[in-house]
């Protein structure tokens, strides 16, 4: 059955009505999931297996029948481990129906149907009794309910209910215990992701609105691959263990999801500005703590390369509500609070320790700008590129119109001497910046869609400079910012014949890459710890084939190291000085491989040409090294087209990636296809 769905098109700005299968949503959920990543996480799987074996042995040593409750079973992997370890019976609970069906197939394929019962329910709906889902309460509780923040997927309410209703008093639990670690640091890089910094334009300092500086920021955790943040980017002020409860979280005992707090006193090791808390957690799989699965970033390891990679569990960055000056030797208290789904931190004098309120944005900026967007606005080099470009095109009689979400370009244009500046701005952040700098009225903000703007809205003036970064909060993939082009086309009648468009053009770039680790999220598993999980592989591939395998997906490549196997190349150009074409535009060609390796996919990004000699990149920001190492922008996500299976690039002969791109103006989308071609040459001079 198919239904019509209304979806906002991020490129054209239109509301598109499309016919979709009723299965579209869950196919997307499966295709974009991290199930494959978890199955490829050998360290996680090995530690769980060891913990389960130990728990089963302890229960058997007491002469008890081993009954296991596995909450969030996924593929059924942990239940199969339990039965293999000697469990008498397992109840495996999985709320997501397609996943529960896959688990049932996997359990049957591995011959465990008589020992494992798949229950397609939320654990809080599971019943116990002669007519219930479970015949009796379990004496081993196995769970994998964790996210990067540990409790963000509702682990505490699930544990709380399980202890009250589904497991025996004094049950064994795998994992047995969790410990959260926190590192208080000063970091100009990380702090730039939450606070707007002053900007100097033409010798004048543009200061952020006071409301932004006073704001505690967004409550949601910032989860990143902390291993990719160099230790040189922050200064530790103290390091100590912080526990979310007065004692370690012992999952074998009743757990409460109610609000709780815990404070740790410490002595400051280095003077500086306390800004950020870096956090991760460990799981002790057994009571003795001899089986530990840690999420610690690689730079905490004696040999960083030995750190296991995982994307389903990363590390967390928490921004303190206010920046505080601290002095070496000072005694302070770091307080962590949690509710049923989240954590937050505050720093206080240990003599005046009060419970912090949950952070909440009061300035609107943290609701309008993402953390990467804050970083982008604070990027001095990027700002200088825009200021230089504007300086080169502005005249005393310039009438400017800015089109971007939460942009400072209209403010820059006024400071650079434009006669009149308009801005199409719905968030009103520009208004706050103007008022904070006594520039009220310097920019006329119009809350009007570009296609509805008329000459009267501009006071009869014609636009001589149309400017954009471009940045739009609805953009997911790099080319979604082509919305700027559609806006420029809608405004064509309001532009002077010789109007300057900034940026004047954009180019789509591509690069064939070998991922260090990111390939795991798409790679089939086959067998996992000796169990056949091919039904899971088949389910994921079916969902990818539904649509996702034909599309690119957004990833911040600065967090996911990769090696360039080809040169980078501009494969499509979009001329913003002209209107959007009526007909599709295509580009074909081939890009030779320059290095041997395993090609997992193609990286895609946009570069915006502000003028003929000033370019801002949303992808590569430096030359590719001889070994193929890449440096990527932290501000924008790149598009990744994963190959269905990797290509082995050897030194025998020569190979190239053949590409085909088609930009469809009616859809505002770019269709793409890639294949590998072998090229044989008679001599190297060709």
* Catalytic residue ranges: 144, 153
State how far the Cα of 484 lies from the Cα of 576, in Å rounded to an integer. Answer: 8
State how far the Cα of 98 lies from the Cα of 118, in Å rounded to an integer. Answer: 12
8 Cβ contact partners less than 8 Å away, ≥ 6 residues apart: 14, 15, 16, 474
Give yes or no for a contact between 659 and 510, defined as CB atoms under 8 angstroms apart.
yes
Residue ranges of E strands in 568-614 = 569-575, 585-592, 597-609
Strands 116-119 and 420-424: unpaired
Give the pair of three-digit tokens for residue 504: 């004047």
Burial label, 276 (beta-carbon count in 10 A; 0-12, 13-18, 19+): buried
State how far the Cα of 68 lies from the Cα of 489, in Å rounded to an integer. Answer: 63
The H or E element that residue 2 is part of is strand 2-8
Helix-helix angle 77-84:97-109, to 10 degrees? 30
Taking alpha carbons only, the member of 100, 106, 125, 96 closest to residue 25 is: 96
Taking alpha carbons only, the member of 513, 509, 538, 510 closest to residue 524 is: 538
CA dihedral 14, 506, 548, 30 (to 10 degrees): -80
Give yes or no for a contact between 281 and 114, defined as CB atoms under 8 angstroms apart.
no
| Cis bond upstream, residue 280 (ω within 30) | no
Question: Is the backbone of residue 203 left (phi > 0), alpha (psi -120 to 50) or beta?
Answer: left
Strands 272-284 and 222-224: unpaired
State how far the Cα of 431 lies from the Cα of 405, in Å rounded to an integer. Answer: 13
| Cis bond upstream, residue 503 (ω within 30) | yes
Place of tokens 């491989």: 593
569 Cβ contact partners less than 8 Å away, ≥ 6 residues apart: 509, 510, 511, 589, 591
Radius of gyration of the chain (CA): 28
State how far the Cα of 365 lies from the Cα of 415, in Å rounded to an integer. Answer: 22
Main-chain phi, psi angles of 661, to 5 degrees: -125, 140
DSSP 208: P
Distances (CA, A) of 672 to 80, 217, 505: 41, 39, 21
DSSP 529: T
State how far the Cα of 178 lies from the Cα of 219, in Å rounded to an integer. Answer: 23
Q: Is the CA virtual torsion 424, 367, 149, 183 positive or negative?
A: positive
Whats the size of the chain, residue-wise?
686
Residue 495 CA, distance from chain mean position: 38
């Amino acid at each position: 059955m198919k239904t019509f769905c209304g979806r906002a098109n991020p490129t054209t700005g239109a509301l598109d009505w499309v016919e979709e299968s009723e299965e579209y949503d869950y196919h997307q959920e499966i295709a974009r999931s991290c199930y494959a990543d978890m199955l490829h996480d050998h360290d996680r799987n090995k530690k769980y297996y060891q913990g389960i074996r130990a728990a089963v042995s302890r229960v058997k040593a007491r002469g008890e029948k081993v009954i296991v409750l596995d909450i969030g079973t996924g593929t059924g992997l942990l239940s199969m481990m339990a039965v293999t370890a000697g469990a008498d019976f397992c109840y495996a609970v999985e709320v997501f129906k397609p996943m529960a069906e896959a688990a049932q197939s996997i359990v049957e394929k591995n011959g465990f149907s008589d020992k494992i019962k798949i229950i397609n329910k939320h654990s809080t709906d599971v019943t116990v009794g002669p007519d219930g889902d479970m015949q009796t309460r379990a004496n081993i509780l196995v769970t994998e309910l964790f996210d990067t923040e540990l409790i963000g997927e509702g682990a505490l309410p699930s544990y709380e209910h399980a202890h009250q209703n589904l497991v025996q008093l004094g049950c064994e639990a795998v994992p047995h215990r969790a410990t959260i670690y926190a590192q208080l640091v000063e970091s100009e890089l990380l702090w730039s992701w939450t606070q707007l910094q002053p900007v100097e334009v033409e010798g004048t300092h543009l200061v952020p609105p006071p409301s932004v500086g006073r704001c505690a920021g967004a409550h949601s955790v910032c989860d990143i691959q902390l291993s990719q943040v160099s230790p040189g980017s922050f200064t530790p002020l103290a390091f100590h263990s912080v526990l979310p409860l007065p004692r370690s979280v012992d999952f074998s005992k009743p757990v409460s999801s109610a609000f709780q707090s815990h404070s740790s006193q410490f002595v400051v090791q280095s003077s500086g500005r306390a800004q950020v808390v870096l956090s991760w957690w460990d799981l002790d799989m057994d009571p003795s703590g001899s089986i530990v699965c840690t999420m610690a970033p690689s730079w905490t390891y004696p040999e960083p390369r030995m750190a296991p990679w995982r994307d389903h569990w990363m590390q967390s960055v928490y921004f303190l509500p206010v920046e505080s000056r601290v002095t070496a030797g000072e005694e302070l208290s770091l307080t962590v609070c949690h509710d049923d789904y989240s954590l937050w931190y505050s720093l206080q004098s240990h003599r005046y320790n009060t419970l912090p309120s949950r952070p909440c944005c009061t300035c609107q900026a943290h609701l309008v700008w993402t953390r990467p967007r804050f970083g982008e606005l604070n990027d001095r080099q990027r700002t200088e590129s825009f200021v230089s470009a504007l300086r080169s095109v502005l005249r005393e009689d310039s009438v400017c119109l800015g089109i971007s979400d939460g942009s400072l370009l209209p403010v820059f244009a006024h400071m650079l001497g434009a006669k009149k500046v308009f801005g199409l701005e719905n968030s009103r952040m520009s208004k706050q910046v103007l008022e904070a700098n006594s520039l009220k009225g310097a920019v006329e903000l119009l809350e009007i869609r570009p296609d509805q703007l008329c000459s009267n809205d501009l006071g009869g003036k014609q636009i001589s400079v149309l400017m954009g970064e471009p940045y739009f909060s609805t953009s997911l993939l790099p080319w979604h910012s082509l919305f700027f082009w559609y806006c420029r086309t809608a405004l064509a009648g309001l532009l002077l014949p010789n109007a300057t468009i900034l940026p004047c053009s954009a180019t789509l770039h591509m690069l064939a890459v070998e991922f260090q680790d990111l390939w795991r999220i798409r790679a089939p598993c086959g067998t996992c710890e000796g169990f056949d999980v091919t039904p899971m592989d088949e389910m994921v591939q079916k969902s990818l084939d539904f649509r996702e395998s034909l599309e690119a997906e957004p990833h911040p490549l600065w967090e996911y190291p990769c090696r360039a196997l080809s040169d980078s190349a501009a494969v499509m150009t979009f001329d913003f000085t002209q209107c959007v074409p009526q007909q599709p535009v295509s580009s074909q060609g081939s890009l030779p491989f320059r290095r041997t390796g395993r090609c997992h996919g193609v990286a895609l990004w946009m570069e915006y040409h502000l003028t003929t000699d000033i370019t801002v990149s949303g992808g590569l920001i430096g030359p590719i090294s001889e070994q193929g190492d890449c440096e990527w922008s932290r501000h924008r996500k790149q598009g990744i087209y994963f190959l269905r299976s990797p290509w082995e690039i050897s030194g025998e002969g020569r190979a190239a990636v053949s590409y085909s791109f088609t930009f469809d103006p009616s859809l505002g989308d770019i269709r793409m296809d890639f294949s590998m071609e072998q090229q044989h040459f008679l001599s190297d001079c060709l």
